[in-house]
Structure 1
């Protein structure tokens, strides 16, 4: 059980550090890379955050229909082609890609949380607190670390590096199938 919780924590790490790279530095990236105004960059950040809200909202019902492990696969590893393309895209494709990335990657958390709760069904409060606390904590640490890295190597470097974070989604292969959790 601890190994599976550890894998789920690594998946949360990849998701939240990637998302915080966008929420913290996206406006600066847009201004630096494309020369947009502060207002335009904030509008594009709003579009990304709206996509994240949409993904969070639809992730649960989709997980109920196709299974949580499938949602975890698609939402973390499935976003990889889009994250890898993002640092090389023009402004229009950057806006489109960040919308897709936001919807897809945000659908993961509810699936991960319910998956972990099914893993330890008598400790739902503990699991919820553990995962929410870890998610917010790692996002804060990630934002600080990425800020230091951006100051040292530049924001474009941060996006090229963070584009690879969804590869951690390969760890999903080690998660037991959903039906194995229901028998617990």
Structure 2
């Protein structure tokens, strides 16, 4: 049942693990001394359950039996998915392949946004009046410095000569 369960919910887990616990509980009670007192002719093997559950060989046998019984089922399902996939498995496999190729060629957006200053919203959370006009107008943002050639224009060569002379 656990292999066939696609979506594990509380009810599914409770019923599967509860049934396993209930099985061991009933088997333990059937081989205990309490039920022997009620029906001595039917239940003659008192105390065998506690003695058997203390043995590591019993637990090894249980684990190996479950593993050997599940091995063919798991192998058959693996081979059927690999060699003879169903239509839905083919579609799902192709969707994943095409999505991976699409992601590979898709251009990623730049982390840095150009032309937008992050400082504009710094004053937006102020509780004093008057900052809304500054934020909306953009007057609070520092202007970029103009380059030296834009400020001095043709006089740049004269300024450099004066610096070298001094």
TM-score normalised by length of structure 1: 0.30
> Relative contact order (alpha carbons < 8 A, sep ≥ 6): 1 or 2 greater?
1
The answer to which structure has the higher helix fraction is 1
